[in-house]
Structure 1
Amino acid sequence: MKAATVIGLVIALVGLAGGATIEGTAVTAVIQPPALLIVLGGTFGATMAACGMEGVKSIAPGYKLAMSPPELDLPGRVRELVGLAERARKEGLLALEGELENVEDAYMRSGLQLVVDGTEPELVREVLEGEIDGMEARHKSGYDAFEKAGGFAPTIGIIGTVLSLIHVLGNLSDPGSLGPAISGAFIATLLGVGTANIVYLPVGNRLKKLSGQEAAMRTMVLEGILAIQAGDNPRIVTEKLLTYLPPADREAAREPSGPNLRLADPPGEAQAA
């Protein structure tokens, strides 16, 4: 579900705000400029020091990606690969050259181009696995910034609280103001722990999961391309690729998707017919 991250964050915030309101705490009490400056500014600076400018630049795109991730159509990708396997088996690998312009996925198109060019299977695997490794490294620099921020924020919140308490203890001459001052001091801790566990860490974990899903899809595409190059029977290609899909999606992957992407019958069904 594309909106799962947004829904989850909203539920978490509403739950915390609702619980605080029931207890009689004003939600607006957390809006304290000094605490916000210490926690948000300190966390941002520490994250920049840890991840560098490249990591910081990936924060905004990371939020956008987590809130609205692209759909990975695994069944559709299986149908496309099996259709190409049927074409290659009937007309030869060179026949795929005319299909390359219709392949939308750049990774698949690159792999098929290597196959059409007559590249050795070992080299095809090496090149495509290298692309997966490079993609994962780029993705890691994105979600690593959120994980680092999630680690820094609670500690910086405690630092903010200690700074506030130092100020409070330096003004004990006015006992009547101690209660509100001490209460305000803990706002920094609340902001640090809250932002880490409601924003930074969930978004980082979401991005890590999305990266894993894309890497798994590319691995599936890699195995499909190598099976096409080896001249495997389309039925065998189908069964190989279906192992990468959850059981609930496998039936959809068997459905035809146009005249050029018709799946062969699964093993056993053709004999039964």
Structure 2
Amino acid sequence: MDLISLIGTILAFLVVIVGTVLKGSSVEALWNPAAFVIVFVGTFAALLVQNPGRVLKRALSIFPMIYKPPQHQPSDLISRIVGWSEISRRQGLLGLEPQIDSESDSFVRKGLQLLVDGSEPEAIRGVLEVEVESREHTDIAAARVFEHAGVFSPTMGIIGAVMGLMAVMQNLADPSKLGHGIAAAFVATIYGVALANLLMLPMAARLKSLIHQQTQMREILVEGLVAIAEGANPRQIEARLLGYLP
């Protein structure tokens, strides 16, 4: 669990709630069913129009990464790759076959299998790099769903505010309803702007960062497996891969 992201999300809600109270309003004033429908359902509808189902499905599947990010430890991966190279030098590439079943990551298993099968270095690079690029493209497209939600929601908030003010204008003859009506109208604006700037846009940026880290890990793996296939010395492989570290 990433406590920083969790704390940030909690603070996002507290900022709006506490800020409302400190400004002299009440928490109840933040709840407006019509504004909720216009902003949240409207934003979701816009996302449905913009994105195919597979992209939306992928966006939902990577959402938990924000709070449970993969553990990216390039130094640990480099150590494992150096260990594989030492095994291959002692026992040959077939000596790596027992390592395949012990790996939980399908990409790692695929790379090791190509290595064990005796594929040429450039063939290994070609196959794995296509998958790296494909996965990154798919995941970035999914992360952009949250970014697009951050673009749509403020506009939906303005639409909700305008619709609320239209309702207020129809009750100008009754001054007792004007204050409440105007306040309710601007709740939609709060929903839209807060949803975008406190949640959707930060989440999109966080997911993109995690995706780039995953891509870097896969690039390290590809380079390491190619080096093993080329018969490079374990120390040379280690020096080569350490260049990926900051």
TM-score w.r.t. the length of structure 1 is: 0.84
Amino acid paired to 1:219: E
- Structure 2 residue aligned with 1:81: 81
1:70 CA displacement: 2.3
Q: Percent identity?
A: 39
- Structure 1 residue aligned with 2:164: 164
Asked whether 1:69 is paired with 2:91, we answer: no
- Conserved in 1, the CA contact under 8 Å of 2:58 and 2:139? no
2: CA distance, partners of 1:94 / 1:51:
45
SS in 2 for 1:186: helix
- Conserved in 1, the CA contact under 8 Å of 2:120 and 2:229? no
Amino acid paired to 2:120: E
- Conserved in 2, the CA contact under 8 Å of 1:224 and 1:237? yes
Amino acid paired to 2:164: S
- Structure 2 residue aligned with 1:238: 238
| Per-residue Cα deviation, 1:170-229 (whole angstroms, up to 9, x for no partner) | 221112322221121111111001111112111111111111111110000011111111
Against the structure 1 CA distance between its residues 132 and 4, is the aligned structure 2 distance closer, same or farther, given a 3 Å change threshold?
Answer: same
1:59 CA displacement: 4.4
Asked whether 1:16 is paired with 2:16, we answer: yes
- Structure 2 residue aligned with 1:254: none
Count of paired positions: 246
2: CA distance, partners of 1:55 / 1:76:
32
Amino acid paired to 2:165: L
- Unmatched 5+ stretches in structure 2: none
1: CA distance, partners of 2:16 / 2:187:
14
Against the structure 1 CA distance between its residues 105 and 54, is the aligned structure 2 distance closer, same or farther, given a 3 Å change threshold?
Answer: closer
- Structure 2 residue aligned with 1:270: none
- Structure 2 residue aligned with 1:146: 146
1:99 CA displacement: 3.0
- Structure 2 residue aligned with 1:91: 91
Matches within 5 A, 1:244-263: 244-246=244-246
Against the structure 1 CA distance between its residues 110 and 58, is the aligned structure 2 distance closer, same or farther, given a 3 Å change threshold?
Answer: closer
- Structure 2 residue aligned with 1:103: 103
Asked whether 1:114 is paired with 2:110, we answer: no
2: CA distance, partners of 1:214 / 1:15:
32
